[in-house]
Amino acid sequence: MKGKRFILTAVAVALSLAVALAVVAASKTSRADAAPLNVDQVPAAIPAQGVTLLAGYADITLMPPTSDLSATPTVSAEKALTLAPVIDSPSPPSTVLAIVTAGSTLPPPGESAKGYNAVDDRLAWVITYAYPEPIDVRQGKLPTDGASPPSPLMRSHVNFIIDAQSGAFLIGFFTE
Half-sphere exposure of 158 (CA within 13 A, CB side): 18
- Report the side by side order of strands in the sheet with 37-39: 37-39, 51-53, 60-63, 94-102, 122-136, 154-163, 169-175
Contacts of 107 (CB under 8 A, 6+ apart): 113, 116, 118
Query: Cα 63 from chain centroid?
Result: 5
* CB neighbour class for 161 (10 Å; exposed up to 12, middle 13-18, buried from 19): buried
Average pLDDT estimate for 132-159: 81
pLDDT value at position 33?
64
Query: Cα 6 from chain centroid?
Result: 51
Reported as a single tens digit per residue, the pLDDT across 76-118 is 999 999 999 988 888 899 999 999 999 999 999 999 888 888 9
Reported as a single tens digit per residue, the pLDDT across 16-56 is 333 333 333 443 334 456 899 999 999 999 999 999 999 99
Which sequence spans correspond to the domains of the chain?
Answer: 1-33, 36-175
Q: Which amino acid, one-letter code, is at 124?
A: A
pLDDT value at position 58?
93
Query: Cα 108 from chain centroid?
Result: 22
Closest CA to 169 of 54, 86, 62: 86
User: Are β-strands 94-102 and 51-53 bridged in parallel, bridged antiparallel, or unpaired?
Assistant: unpaired
Lowest average pLDDT, out of 53-67, 99-113, 138-152, goes to: 138-152
